[in-house]
Amino acid sequence: MRYTDINLDDKTILITGGAGFIGSSLAFYFQNNHPKTKVVVLDSFRSGETLSNGNLKSFGHFKNLIGFSGEVISGDINDKDLLLDLEVNYKFDYIFHEAAISDTTALEQDLMIKTNVNAYKDLLHLAIKHSANMIYASSAATYGNAPSPQRVGCEDPANVYGFSKLSMDHLSRQYMRECDIKIVGLRYFNVYGPREYFKNSTASMVLQFGHQLLSGKNPRLFDGSDKILRDFIYIEDIIQANIKAMEPKESGIYNVGTGKARSFQDIVDILQRELGTELKCEYIPNPYIGSYQFHTEADIEETKKALGYEPRFEMEDAIKDYVSEIRRIYETEVKK
């Protein structure tokens, strides 16, 4: 579905983190809906390099871009020479900044701040030089344990990732006051959908439960999972919000969720119905009590007003749309 009437013919768009889950989805949105737009994907791509928690430093994967016909650049947003090259040799009209150290369990505070905050400032300078509107990924992690519904202005980050995203938001507000370009921060809640598989263990529980069921394993849930609620949002609505943020009524920082909290038990029940399985759920003690969010729900009223955003996918519709891809990934990636 096309989400804007803006004429993007002959416009040039930079997508950082463009080989990741959301970045690659944006790249294909433009390719499919605005074929005369030039799209440049920048990603550090994955290597064997890991963080101290054992997770990969970069989740970018070439398979997320198979079929993409735009320009692909392998590079790190911390590389000043790369950013200078982008400034001198390109002229961007819009920048979608999705690149980040996005692992909420990462302990490297130095790398998190350097990559998520300092490099973002450099990209803002690039946007200003090019008079390019900036749309960037903030996060619901900025709220930490703040009570639901989570509202912009009520932040309490519980980890360095959430802190880094809140720092990006503070920096953005400063630049909103000082420059002419439009800057929009989008606080994503729990995103799921096609192209997330290569996030490995940080992929959504929708995908992980789906693959458990397809392998014939009983789904394992924490005790009381019918009362553990999250604002789960389908990738299509994330794309909608990003596109509508290209020419907003005003700069700002906005929640992107459904405004409805759903349970992990809901996920399993819907998946079982769509996959045709009837496996018994196994319930285990929750080892994260005390450091675990039991309820998230985005207040999206300002997002609706400022961006014209309206979530289109209920969880039942989203999982029904997603289930064929869950099956395909299971057959081509998990079973092999």
In a 13 Å sphere around the CA of 104, the CA atoms on its Cβ side amount to 17
Residue whose tokens read 């009223």: 301
Cα distance between residue 17 and residue 60, in whole Å: 7
Number of helices followed by number of strands (H, E) in the chain: 10, 13
Cα distance between residue 213 and residue 223, in whole Å: 19
| Known catalytic residue at 161 | yes
The runs of H, that is alpha helices, within 225-300 are 235-244, 264-275
| Known catalytic residue at 280 | no
Cα distance between residue 174 and residue 250, in whole Å: 14
- Catalytic pick among 94, 161, 192, 197: 161
Cα distance between residue 13 and residue 41, in whole Å: 8
CB 326 within 8 A of CB 207: yes
CB 297 within 8 A of CB 148: yes
CB 20 within 8 A of CB 60: yes
For the chain, how long is the longest CA-to-CA vector? 59
- Catalytic pick among 199, 309, 322, 330: 199
Q: Which stretch of DSSP H or E encloses residue 315?
A: helix 315-329
Task: Give Cβ neighbours of residue 138 (< 8 Å, ≥ 6 apart).
Answer: 165, 168, 169, 185, 186, 187, 188, 253
Q: Of the candidates 176, 225, 183, 179, which has an alpha carbon nearest to the alpha carbon of residue 205?
A: 225
Cα distance between residue 186 and residue 310, in whole Å: 14
Cα distance between residue 155 and residue 228, in whole Å: 21
Residues assigned a catalytic role: 161, 199
